[in-house]
């Protein structure tokens, strides 16, 4: 299995890159989707959130009011840390399970773990990545996208960028940077080139492992 850690700031275009990779055959594991699963109605994490922040954060159907929670955590770092302490352990467990399942289903799988908080995943020893890919667009471009595509105010967009790791922190982790300040076609061309590189790398890893096994078998014989 070959594991790619894919990250980028909010509105950087990370989802576009992830979709292109999965269209080529990669197995996608989306941290945001896992984060939704761990706070589904009836989960221990959702009960803990309601206990910590109040039942006002629950909708009439018992699900999480994400808009109300977002208003709190993107403007208050202390509250954000309180939420992370509840949700992150659950997401980590589910991530390990999904990555392990992908590897068990296909030992040669190329898995893309799409995660905003990649630095935290590495620091927490969540998984070991074969390649780290950062999707990059400057802050002004991302703010404009959030205003135009998500209906946020400039202040709201700026707060959301400020709540995440800085561009410098993300780029410092990168093995590959996808520049998403140009056209969609330019971005996808970079992703296609990356896919070819990864396919070769995975094949090389598989051949190396096969060689080691062959050598071991000959030695044992």
Please check whether residue 92 is in contact with residue 127, taking contact to mean a CB–CB distance below 8 angstroms: no
Residue 176 phi, psi (nearest 5): -135, 135
DSSP assignment of 74-125: TT-HHHHHHHHHHHHHHHHHHHHHHHHHHHHH-TT-EEEEE-TTHHHHHHTT
Q: Read off the pLDDT of each residue in 199-212 and give the average, rounded to a whole number.
A: 66
- Please state the separation of Cα 221 from the chain's center in Å: 45
The larger pLDDT score, comparing residue 50 to residue 211, is at 50
The encoded tokens of residue 213 equal 């096994």
Contact of 12 with 180, CB cutoff 8 Å:
yes
With cut-offs at 50, 70 and 90, classify the pLDDT of residue 25.
very high
pLDDT at 46: 95
DSSP 174: -
pLDDT at residue 71, as a whole number: 81
Using the predicted structure, report yes or no on whether residue 214 has a pLDDT greater than 60: no
| Mean pLDDT of the 216-221 span | 43
Q: Are the beta carbons of 26 and 111 closer than 8 angstroms? A: yes
pLDDT recorded at residue 14: 92
pLDDT at 29 over 50: yes
pLDDT digits (tens, 9 = 90+) for 146-192: 999 898 999 988 888 887 888 888 899 899 999 999 899 999 999 99
Other C-beta atoms lying within 10 Å of the C-beta of residue 148: 10
Close Cβ partners of 168 (under 8 Å, ≥ 6 residues apart) = none
Q: Does residue 18 have a pLDDT over 90?
A: yes
At 63, which helix (H) or strand (E)? none
Q: What domain count does the chain have?
A: 1
| Boundaries of domain holding 127 | 2-220
Give me the chain's average pLDDT, please.
86
Q: Average the pLDDT over 206-217 and give the result.
A: 46
What are the distances in angstroms from CA 64 to CA 38, 54, 86, 92? Answer: 11, 11, 14, 20
Query: Where residue 195 falls among pLDDT bands split at 50, 70, 90?
Result: very high
Provide, rounded to the nearest whole percent, the portion of the chain with pLDDT above 70.
88
For residue range 51-101, list pLDDT tens digits in order.
998 988 899 999 999 888 888 787 788 988 899 899 988 998 999 999 999
180 sits in which H/E element:
none
- Which of 206, 166, 127, 124 lies closest to 8, judged by CA? 166
> Which domain CATH number covers 11?
3.40.50.300
**Which is higher by pLDDT, 211 or 147?**
147
Residues comprising the chain, all counted: 221
pTM: 0.80
């Amino acid at each position: 299995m070959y594991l790619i850690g894919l990250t980028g700031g909010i509105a950087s275009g990370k989802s576009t890159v992830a979709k292109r990779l999965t269209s080529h055959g990669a197995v996608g594991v989306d941290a945001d989707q896992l984060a939704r699963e761990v706070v589904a109605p009836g989960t221990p994490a959702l009960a803990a959130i309601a206990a910590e922040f109040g039942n006002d954060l629950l909708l009439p159907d018992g699900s999480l009011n994400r808009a109300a929670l977002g208003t709190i955590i993107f403007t208050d770092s202390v509250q954000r840390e309180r939420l992370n302490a509840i949700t992150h352990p659950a997401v980590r467990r589910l991530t390990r399970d999904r990555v392990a399942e992908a590897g068990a289903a296909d030992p040669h799988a190329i898995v893309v773990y799409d995660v905003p908080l990649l630095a935290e995943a590495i620091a927490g020893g969540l998984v070991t990545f074969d390649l780290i890919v950062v999707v990059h667009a400057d802050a002004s471009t991302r703010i404009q996208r959030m205003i135009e595509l998500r209906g946020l105010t400039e202040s709201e967009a700026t707060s959301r960028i400020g709540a995440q790791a800085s561009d410098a922190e993300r780029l410092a982790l990168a093995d590959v940077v996808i520049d998403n300040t140009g056209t969609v076609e330019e971005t996808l061309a970079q992703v296609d080139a990356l896919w070819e590189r990864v396919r070769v790398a995975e094949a090389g890893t598989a051949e190396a492992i096969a060689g080691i096994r062959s050598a071991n078998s000959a030695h044992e014989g």
